[in-house]
Amino acid sequence: MADRPDDAMLKACTGLEGGVVAAGSTCGVVSAGVLCLACDAEPDLLQGGSAAEKEVMERAARLVHWFEDTYGSSLCRDLTGVDFYSKAGQIRYLVPGDKVIPCLLHIRGAMRYLFNNRIPDGNQNANLPSNPATDTGTKPVHCASAVLEGIRRQTGTGNIRLERMAFVLDGGVALSGGVCGALAGAILAVNNVLGLQIRQMSYGSIIGAFARGHANLLTKKTRISCEPFAVGRKVVSDFREIAGGIECRTITGRSFSDWDAFQEYMAGTPPCQDLIESVIRRTSDEVCSLEKRRASLPGQSRGF
């Protein structure tokens, strides 16, 4: 739609499905949707700095509110009512179809929303704040972006463009209180290595990868295979253990009305900073291990 395909970002988004590795939090349609909005506004962001980020965050929040008003919730567990970490839940999601079909309709609806609200070609600067020079110069704190940048610096593996766009995941995806940005950043980083190269895969290969991924949510094996959902399951579990939950509203005990309220909170909240640093350390170790294991396995060039 934007005529700027980015296979690397598409690959990184593999783990957002099902509320982040099927954990039931923010719907992957929503989290990927706000990233699409950020990508569409990239020229604005490159010129406008944090003032432009603030405007794009407001645009992303409108997407989340539209999705919630239209479909009733932005959380996968509310939309599907199933537990993907149980065999019965996975079967119920697919059969008889009353769960999976609405998900397809949500994708269609979100794409229509994005198309109708994208910035017109050749008019990228129209949505910039009227005076970006009023920026205070204070660098905002961005959860997912900080995690992605920290992991890239420690491991040498990352995607700078994704780091720039990931600020829209702040505050539980556009300040909605959903999945923590630090966790989303960790999952994106893992999938920088393991994610699916959708455009290079056949339809059958995609279905096979989907089946393997969901089977890995059910396995009791202690050895984690080199596969996006197997590794992502471990990352989510470890994060839940150290943070006490996986959603921003649970971790902070707050909701955020706007960009300024979130930034004020982050500026004076060491626990969130400590959590980000912990996620960077743990996920960097995981990414380094994945790179070594992936290099030793056949058939990894397609991302699974």
What are 220's two structure tokens? 């009791």
Taking the chain, what is the end-to-end CA distance rounded to the nearest angstrom?
26
Query: What's the pLDDT at 265?
Result: 94
DSSP string, 159-170: -HHHHHHGGGGT
Q: Which of 57, 51, 59, 53 is nearest to 132 (CA)?
A: 51
Q: How many CB atoms lie within 10 A of CB 21?
A: 33
Query: What's the pLDDT at 126?
Result: 47
Q: Report how far apart, in Å, the C-alpha atoms of 299 and of each of 12, 98, 226, 304 are.
A: 18, 35, 11, 7
Angle of CA points 51, 251, 148, to nearest 5°: 50
What are 8's two structure tokens? 């690397």
Q: Max CA-CA distance within the chain? A: 56
Cβ atoms of residues 190 and 232 within 8 Å: yes
Q: Radius of gyration of the chain from Cα atoms?
A: 18
Query: What's the pLDDT at 131?
Result: 42
Phi/psi region, residue 19 (left: phi>0; alpha: psi -120 to 50; beta: rest), is left
**Which strand (E) or helix (H) includes residue 238?**
helix 228-243
Query: What's the pLDDT at 270?
Result: 77
What are 164's two structure tokens? 């720039």
Query: What's the pLDDT at 121?
Result: 60
Q: Taking the chain (304 residues) in consecutive chunks of 10 residues, what is each chunk's mean pLDDT? A: 82 96 98 95 91 96 98 98 97 97 97 88 48 58 96 95 96 98 98 94 95 93 84 96 96 94 89 94 94 69 41
pTM over 0.75: yes
Cβ atoms of residues 283 and 189 within 8 Å: yes
Task: Give me the phi and psi of 290, to 5 degrees please.
Answer: -65, -40
Q: Give the integer Cα–Cα distance in Å for 159 and 118.
A: 23
Q: Which of 261, 60, 263 is nearest to 168 (CA)?
A: 60
Please give the DSSP secondary-structure letter assigned to residue 75.
B
Where are the domains positioned within the chain?
A: 7-130+138-295
Query: What's the pLDDT at 222?
Result: 67
Query: What's the pLDDT at 297?
Result: 63
Query: What's the pLDDT at 291?
Result: 85
Query: What's the pLDDT at 301?
Result: 44
Cβ atoms of residues 145 and 163 within 8 Å: yes
What are 212's two structure tokens? 């393997």
Helix (H, G, I), strand (E, B) or coil at 224: coil
Helices 42-71, 100-116: inter-axial angle, 10-degree rounding: 140
